Amino acid sequence: MRRKHWERRLKFTREGKYFLGITLGVGLAAINTGNNPLYLLLGMMLSLIIVSGVMSELSLRKLSVRRRLPKRAQVGRAHLVEIEVWNDKEQVPSYAIEVEDLRADQPADKRCFFLKISPRSTQVAAYRRTPQRRGIERHSGFRVATRFPFGLFEKSRELDVDEELIVYPAVDPVRLPLRGRGDSSGDVGPVGRGLGEETYAIRLMREGDDPRDIYWRKSTVPGQLVMRERAHELRHDVHLRLDDLRPLPLPSSLSSEEAFEQRIRDVASLAVAHIQRGDRVTILTASGKRIVGDKSRGLDPVLRFLALIEQVEGAPPSIEVGGSLSVIGETAA
C-alpha cells in the first residue's frame, strides 16, 4: 500500500518529554494561581512546540531519497548501501535529517545522518551492512526523520522506494584436487592455437588480426606490431548435484533449512573454485533445475541461481547431505 505523502509520525524525545512536562506544570500553575506571567510563559512554551512542528515540517518537505545498491552482495561480506537525499526546496535548507533504509517494512539497524542539505542540492551518505541470509532482500522504502529544530520531538515520514538486492550465498575457500597431466600448466593442450588465456606463440601482425591481441611489450619497432597468439585450452566439465528437496523430519542437530543452506554454501564454494580454475560447472538440483557456468560467463549466473533457489516440497528424503561432485569429462574450450 502506498503511503500518503502527508503522513507524518511524531514521537517525543526524552528532552521533549521533559519540556512537555514542564509546560504542563506551568499550565497547571497558571490556571491555579491566575498568575499572568505564568500564562505568558505557557504561551511561549506552547509556541515553541508549534514553531518546532512547523520548522520540522519545513525540514522534511520536498525531500526525496534514492538508494544505490551494490551490483552484488554476499552473505557474510560487508557491502555499502548508498543513500542519496535530494532537497528540492528553493530556499530552505534541511537540517539534521536521518534516513533509515527500510527492509521488508522493518527499520534498518543503521541510519544515515545529514547535518545540512542545502536547497536544490543533494547529499549522499552510505551505511555498511553485512547480509546474513541469501536470497532476495527487499528494500521497501525509507523513513526520513528529523528532530530539528529544538530536539523536542522526532517527526518522520516514510517514502516508498521499492528495490531488490540479490544476496549471493557465502563462499568458502576450497582446495580442489590436482588434475592429471597438463592440468597444472593451465590446461594448455599440446596442440595448436586457440582462444585460451595462455600465450601460444608470437608473430608479426597481419591484416585482419584483432588489435586487442597486440603484444605491446614486443612492439617496440615502429610499424612492426607484434601479435600474441593464444593457446588452445582444455576445460573440465564439472557437474555438481544439489539436493533441494525438503527432507522428512530427521533426528538431526541441524534443521532442514540450516542443512539446506549449508548445502548451498558448499555447492557455491565448489562452483566458484572450479569456475575460477577454468572449469565449466553445471549445477543440477534434485528437483530438475540446472545452471551452467564457466569463466566466460562469470560467477554471477551461478551465484544468482544459488541465491534464489528454494527447497521444494513433497519429495522423498535425500540421502546425500551437501553437494556432490563428479567430473564428467573434458571439453575443448
Partner 1 sequence: MRFGLVHRAMTDALAFLGVLSLVVGGQFSRPLSIFILASLALAIGLKEKWRQRLSQRHVDAVSTAILIATQLGRAFFTSASVLDLLIEFAVGLQVIRVATRNGAAHDQQVIVLALLHLIAGTVVGGGLGYGLCLLGLIVVTPGALVLSHLRREVEGNYRQGARDRTGLPVDVPRILRSKRVVGKQFIAVTCLLALPILLFTATLFVVFPRVGLSLLLLQKPRGERMIGFSGTVNLGQIGTLRSDPTIALRVTIPNLPDPPPARRMMYLRGTALDQYDGRTWTQSSRSLRTLASAGELVRITGTPAPDEAPWRVELEPFEPPVLFVTPTTKAIELSKTGNITPGLSLQLQTGPEGEFRYQAPSDRMVRYDIYPSESGEPNFTRLRGSQRGRYLEIADALPPRIAELAAEWTRDANTDFERAKIIESRLRTEFEYDLASPSGSEAQPLDHFLFESKRGHCEYFSSAMAVMLRSVQVPARNVTGFVGGTYNKYGRFYAVRQGDAHSWVEAFIEGRGWLSFDPTPPGSAEPQSEMDGALASFRDFFEAVSQRWNQNVLGYDLAQQVSLFDSLDLRDSSSLRGLKAPRRRVAVAALGLALVGSGLYWLYRRRRRAKAGSSGDARVTRDALTAARLYRLLDRAMAAAGVRRFDSVPPLGHALALERRGHPLSSEIRSLTERYLAARFGNVPLTDEEQRDFERRARWLQRAPHGSGSNATRADTVETLETVEDPSKPGRTFDPSTRRHRSHSSPPATTVSSSTEGVSSYELEAATGATDPESDSNERLGRRAALETPVISINVDLGDEASPPPSEVESD
How many C-beta neighbours within 10 Å does residue 53 have?
A: 16
**Residue 123 or residue 256: which is nearer to partner 1 going by CB?**
123
**Residue 54 or residue 202: which is nearer to partner 1 going by CB?**
54
C-beta of 129: minimal distance to partner 1 in Å?
10
Distance, CA of 190 to CA of 47 (rounded, Å): 88
Tell whether residue 208 is a contact of partner 1 (CB under 8 A): no
Q: Residue 208's Cα: distance from chain center in Å?
A: 43
* Given 20, 57, 80, 269, the residue binding partner 1 (CB under 8 A): 80
How many C-beta neighbours within 10 Å does residue 63 have?
A: 22
Q: Which residues pair with 268 in a beta bridge?
A: none
Q: DSSP for 112-123, please give it.
A: EEEEEE-TTEEE
Helix axes 36-60, 14-33, angle to 10 degrees: 150
C-beta of 123: minimal distance to partner 1 in Å?
5
Cell numbers standing for residue 163:
528495490
* Given 53, 76, 151, 186, the residue binding partner 1 (CB under 8 A): 151
Residue of 61, 68, 178 lying closest to 112 (CA atoms): 68
User: One symbol per residue from 109 to 148: x for binding partner 1 (CB under 8 A), - otherwise; what is it?
Assistant: -xxxxxxxxx-xxxxxxxxx------------------xx
Residue of 247, 236, 290 lying closest to 267 (CA atoms): 290
Residue of 7, 8, 12 lying closest to 23 (CA atoms): 12
Distance, CA of 54 to CA of 52 (rounded, Å): 5
Going by their DSSP bridges, the two strands 9-12 and 153-168 should be labelled as antiparallel
C-beta of 126: minimal distance to partner 1 in Å?
4
Tell whether residue 276 is a contact of partner 1 (CB under 8 A): no
By CB under 8 A, what part of segment 156-175 binds partner 1?
none
**Residue 33 or residue 276: which is nearer to partner 1 going by CB?**
33
C-beta of 27: minimal distance to partner 1 in Å?
9
Cell numbers standing for residue 239:
557437474
Tell whether residue 215 is a contact of partner 1 (CB under 8 A): no
C-beta of 38: minimal distance to partner 1 in Å?
5
**Residue 267 or residue 302: which is nearer to partner 1 going by CB?**
302
Count residues contacting partner 1 (CB under 8 A)? 66
**Residue 48 or residue 174: which is nearer to partner 1 going by CB?**
48
User: One symbol per residue from 236 to 275: x for binding partner 1 (CB under 8 A), - otherwise; what is it?
Assistant: ----------------------------------------
How many C-beta neighbours within 10 Å does residue 92 have?
A: 14
Q: Residue 39's Cα: distance from chain center in Å?
A: 55
* Given 9, 47, 136, 224, the residue binding partner 1 (CB under 8 A): 47
DSSP helix/strand/coil, 64: strand
Distance, CA of 180 to CA of 278 (rounded, Å): 15
Tell whether residue 70 is a contact of partner 1 (CB under 8 A): yes
C-beta of 293: minimal distance to partner 1 in Å?
14
Tell whether residue 10 is a contact of partner 1 (CB under 8 A): no
Residues that bind partner 1 (CB under 8 A): 15, 18, 22, 26, 29-44, 46-48, 50-51, 54-55, 68, 70-72, 79-82, 84, 86, 88, 90, 95-96, 110-118, 120-128, 147-151, 212, 296
